[in-house]
Structure 1
């Protein structure tokens, strides 16, 4: 019976230097060879998922943007973007906070460099990765298309900020001093559910690998969930099985545990 296996990227498929263990490559090859579906399931929006590095590993599809986007064999199956009025209201509010924020879309990311501390390296990193797909907020406000966003913590008024956002969004507190913000009703689990419904994949045939707090929904939703051995404790607590660390053949051992390879 064909199974569908969903993999987080950061901390699961690759490390902080975007290095992928050879054992992971071999595990994915065997998984594909055995006839199963391979999916990326990421909080990153589609534009920030590098095809060159990941898609040759055998992935059939992608669930991106915390469940707001899905594609299968190169075809977009669903995309839930924010309405234009929401984006306009959001941009106006975030600009008043005097803090950095990143608007995340299907085709581009939007951020104004001057909103971040001069030593903030994330801008340089994504600028190198995205090139002309990293755009300024200030120069594109009439054409912004996004499904989620991130906001740095503010020194004053953090509680008020969260209360404002909680009306329409779900807040994921991440390491590195920022919050990942997703429209209510969407997460990795809803994306998996929508994709499986479209493809006719039974729930009992679903598996997921993750390592952090933004993986909790999918780890709790799928029939069989695996947390990386070097992942966050919250992910381990939510998973059915805890495999070894990323560089200790974690993906390979997790798939072997379930007899998928």
Structure 2
């Protein structure tokens, strides 16, 4: 099939376990963009944590950040910027502080990542992985100033994150509460998903979703994988994700994206 656009999740999909793009995968992406096929990175990450990956690939790319909340074209035009409401933000933060004091909370607003304590080991680890520097802030002061979050992120032990997802999801039906990794819990407006972000970009390019190809590996990729015409799960994905996808390729440590593109004559 002739795909007219390619979307890819980042962590666990495009990046290997050492948080790098493998050379053959980067070369394959450069080949498709050289042929005029747009490439877009779709992630829970903030834009500043995606930019170094675009540089590592060495190709132009659109960015769908915050699981679809912020959509940016390769030339920097922001097509969509959707935030959580004040009421939801205050309620979620209050419940987490009360019921899950062991969770490390992060407050992402547009192009800035706010934390309560930069010395927090979870924050330091995330800074090393993303190469983005966080900013210490009082979350209540941000809310009072009208700086509402694109997303809230809880970091913690895997069993805590599972419990938070299980209990917060029914408590806040207007929000999407979903794991993006065993130790990460993303909280965004329910109106936002990777599928809605993709729809915004497809409309910008004038491409139908049936002509789109997407790669993913985790639970926050489900909406994306169900939305596009052809979805590909990585070999390292959970079985539930593989069952949803149209195809399954090799894992992120084995050039899964490259192998699918090569086998299907895309490169």
TM exceeds 0.5?
yes
Q: CA offsets per residue over residues 138-181 of structure 1, 9 Å max, x none?
A: 4743343312212353899986544322x321221354344322
Residue 173 of structure 1 is aligned with which of 165, 169, 179?
179
CA distance in 1, matches of 2:126, 2:163: 27
What is the CA RMSD across the aligned residues, in angstroms?
Answer: 2.7
**SS at 2:12's partner residue?**
coil
The answer to whether the 8 A contact 2:169-2:176 is kept is no
Equivalence map 1:161-240=2 (5 Å): 161-165=168-172, 167-240=173-246
Within the candidate set 149, 159, 163, 1:146 is matched to 149
Total equivalences in the alignment: 254
Q: Comparing both structures, which one devotes a greater share of its residues to helix?
A: 2
Q: Which runs of 5+ in 2 are unaligned?
A: none
Structure 1 unaligned residues grouped into runs of 5+: none
* Shift in CA distance, 197/227, structure 1 to aligned 2, threshold 3 Å: same
Which region of structure 1 is more displaced relative to structure 2, 86-95 or 24-33?
86-95
Residue 115 (structure 2) aligns with: 111
Closer/same/farther in 2, CA of residues 229 and 260 from structure 1, 3 Å limit:
same
Aligned twin of 2:251: 245
- Deviations for 1:168-215, whole angstroms, at most 9, x for unmatched residues? 212213543443222112211111112111221122221101111111
Q: 1:168 to 1:13 in 2, by over 3 A?
A: same
Q: Is the 8 A contact 2:68 2:198 kept in 1?
A: yes
Secondary structure of the corresponding residue to residue 39 of structure 1 = strand
What's the secondary structure of 1:125's corresponding residue? helix
Conserved 8 A contact 1:47-1:106:
no
Distance verdict in 2 for CA 1:163–1:247, change over 3 Å: closer
Per-residue deviation, 1:59: 3.3
| Residue-by-residue CA offset, 1:66-109 (whole Å, 9 max, x unaligned) | 11110112111111112344434443443333242222222122
Q: TM-score, normalised by structure 2?
A: 0.83
Q: Distance in 2 between matches of 1:236 and 1:154?
A: 22
Greater shift after overlay, 16-25 or 77-86? 77-86
Structure 1 residues 172 and 11, CA, compared in 2 at 3 Å: closer, same or farther? same
